Amino acid sequence: MDMGLEISFTGILFLLLFFFATAIRVLREYQRGVVFQLGRFWKVKGPGLVVLIPGIQQMVRVDLRTIVLDVPTQDVISRDNVSVKVSAVIYFRVVDPQRAIIQVENFFEATSQLSQTTLRSVLGKHELDDMLAERERLNLDIQQVLDAQTDAWGIKVTNVEIKHVDLDESMIRAIAKQAEAERERRAKVIHAEGELQASEKLQQAAAVLAQQPAAMQLRYMQTLSNIAGDKSSTIIFPLPLDFLTAFANRPRADE
């Protein structure tokens, strides 16, 4: 009789341990539990202690922390028919555990595949120069497209960053030549603008000197002073035009 009671007590203790092992769950602050009752959605519970009815209720854990998804390198053909390899990183998190479990089989895999196709489709609408110079705008475009499509899954895409845009050697050389040609063009434009400004200033100075002969004489004196300061063996003295005109108009002795 005592043996039977001991066996019964052991059985009850085993059942209690089995109940606690299958019925009690502890969820951390960043976790939620999607509880199903007889296969139907019941409620989202957590964090803290969660008690389930064994055999009737089942729970699926969902992590609410931001997930960093590394998008593999994708072959992208830009709008101007340039083939590049682009890699990116996606930051997203679950904001609705119910939809994340019910609406999609594996929200992480679904978001990963959608990120790859979205990266190719969005970047394919832009030219290579946009990929290299306007990454912030492209990051925002990809983030908005992904966020709109994953909203039905209870997923919030918080940020997208394009990491690398890799080109082949021939394209790198072509871009280098283009940059060099652009620098030469700018140098020529700046030189031409300088010549234009100098010619305008010379024209203005000539007009002032023509109206004031005394200013012309002072300019001659300044020129002589500058020449005298140089260590040159030959000095050329400019003569005023009115002096030459007066000399040319001098009456001859035989007239």
Q: How far is CA 89 from CA 116, 153, 173, in A?
A: 10, 20, 28
pLDDT tens-digit readout, 149-186:
999 999 999 999 999 888 877 665 666 677 777 778 88
The model's pLDDT over 82-118, given as tens digits with 9 standing for 90+, comes to: 888 999 999 999 999 999 999 999 999 999 999 999 9
Pinpoint the alpha helices (H) of the chain.
2-23, 97-102, 107-123, 128-133, 135-150, 169-211, 213-229, 241-248
The band of 138, judged by pLDDT with boundaries at 50, 70 and 90, is very high
pTM of the model: 0.65
Question: Are 189 and 197 contacting, i.e. CB atoms less than 8 angstroms apart?
Answer: no
Which region among 56-60, 219-223, 241-245 has the lowest average model confidence (pLDDT)? 241-245
> 79 falls in which pLDDT band (50, 70, 90)?
confident
With contact defined as beta carbons under 8 Å apart, do 138 and 131 qualify?
Answer: yes
- Cα R_g (the chain), whole angstroms: 43
Task: Report residue 127 as tokens.
Answer: 């030219």
**Among the listed ranges 70-74, 120-124, 190-194, 207-211, which one has the minimum average pLDDT value?**
207-211
Q: What is the CA 28 to chain-centroid distance, rounded?
A: 36
- With H, G, I as helix, E, B as strand and everything else as coil, classify residue 234: coil
For 77, residues 6+ apart whose C-beta sits below 8 A from its C-beta are 83, 84, 124
Measured at the CA of 147, the angle between CA 141 and CA 148, to 5 degrees, comes to 95
pLDDT of residue 197: 84
